[in-house]
Each structure stands twice: as C-alpha cells, then as structure tokens.
Amino acid sequence: MRFAHCVVAGAAGVAGSAVLFAAPAIAARFDPSAGSVGDPRLSGPGVDISVAIPTGWRQVTDESHPQLPQMVYPNTCSKGVTCASALASVLSTSAINAQTAAEAAEQAVVGQPGIQGATIISEGPIQVAGRSGHYVRFSYSQPNGKLQAETVAIETGLASSGVIPTSLVFVTVSDLAGAPPASVIDDIVGSTQLIAR
C-alpha cells in the first residue's frame, strides 16, 4: 500500500498554514532512523497534541514535511509508508472552528487523484482530551484496496483574529490482509493528550 501527502489550503477554512495529511497514492520520503517501536507517543515540534503509538506501529519521518509526525503499521515496514497498511498523523494549525478543520481535512484526502467512492459514515461534535472537537469518519477506495479513515479536529486554544488554535488527528486503515482492525482508529483518537506548553 502506498501513502502520500495532500494539502488543504486556507481557502477550505483551515487558516494560517497549509494542513498536510496522508492519503493513499504516492510514497513519501522515509527516514528509517526516525522513531522506534518503543516510542510511547506520536508528537513533534509545534504540535499541541500527542497520541499513543499502539503495539505493532512505528513512527516515521517525512523529510519534506517534518511538521507532520506520522506512524505506520506494521512496525516491520522498513521502507516507510510505501509498505504500510495503516497510517496515523497529527498536526497543529489554526481554523475558523473544529468542524471546518475536520471537514477540510476529509475533503483533502478524498480529493486526491485515484480516490473513488468516498462516503461519510458519520460526523459530529466530539470531546477529546477534555476539549471540544469535531470528527468525520469516512470510507473510500483506491485501485489496490478500500480504506476507512477519520479526521478529528480539536480546539486547543482561544480564538484570536477569527481563528482558533486547532490540532488534528488523521487515521486511516486499509482492508489489506494483515492490516489492523478499524477499531484502532477509535483507540488512537481516544489516546489523544494535550501537550503542556
């Protein structure tokens, strides 16, 4: 399975900087020294949240987007995202509100070339790490498989100049043999913690 990055521009409602997410298509560059099986949480510089790295996953670094901490399954995947059957990432940015951020991230994923049959399964408000947020759970297909994914946006600060500091969690799981169950999406989102600054 191959994953790539897509960009959600400020025009989609995510303000300040582009929001980068992972979606199936083209491989990202991989630093095999980044992360290890024993790292307990996925986070990075400038990211206001962290999520647990489940057993069987490993953190990877995309050198072209170091602000986007990612992890892949399985942890035996030595070629990075090119051999992953599931992927998760976290990012902090600003948005008009959590709903706008979550919906923009979902649209960025399903708008990638080769993505077909995108369907929203459910969406709505959510409380994550004691903060207000919004989630979009969706499914989609690509030539080599079907995937289930969720984008979750969490308001992590106070509004200023019409935007709110917002952090996002993205998790996608394929239907390929050996992939983790889709329930890992809820496990990863449920493990979200705020990082004290």
Domain boundaries, the chain: 3-194
pLDDT, one tens digit per residue, over 123-168 is 999 999 999 999 999 999 988 889 999 999 999 999 999 999 999 9
Closest CA to 184 of 172, 192, 166: 172
104 pLDDT more than 90: yes
Most confident of 13-27, 50-64, 158-172: 158-172
For 6, 46, 62, 179, the CA distances from 27, given in Å and listed in that order, are: 12, 24, 10, 18
- What are the tokens at 24? 């199936």
Instruction: Point out which residues pair with 127 in neighbouring strands.
Output: 132
DSSP H or E run through 188:
helix 184-190
Query: Would you call 116 helix, strand, or coil by DSSP?
Result: strand
Span 106-114, average pLDDT: 91
pTM above threshold 0.95: no
Span 53-65, average pLDDT: 86
- Cβ-in-10-Å burial (0-12, 13-18, 19+) of 1 comes to buried
- CATH 3.40.1190.20 for the 3-194 domain, yes or no: no
Compute the distance between CA of residue 108 and CA of residue 9 in angstroms, rounded to an integer: 9
> For position 4, what pLDDT does the model report?
34
DSSP H or E run through 51:
strand 49-52
Compute the distance between CA of residue 196 and CA of residue 38 in angstroms, rounded to an integer: 22
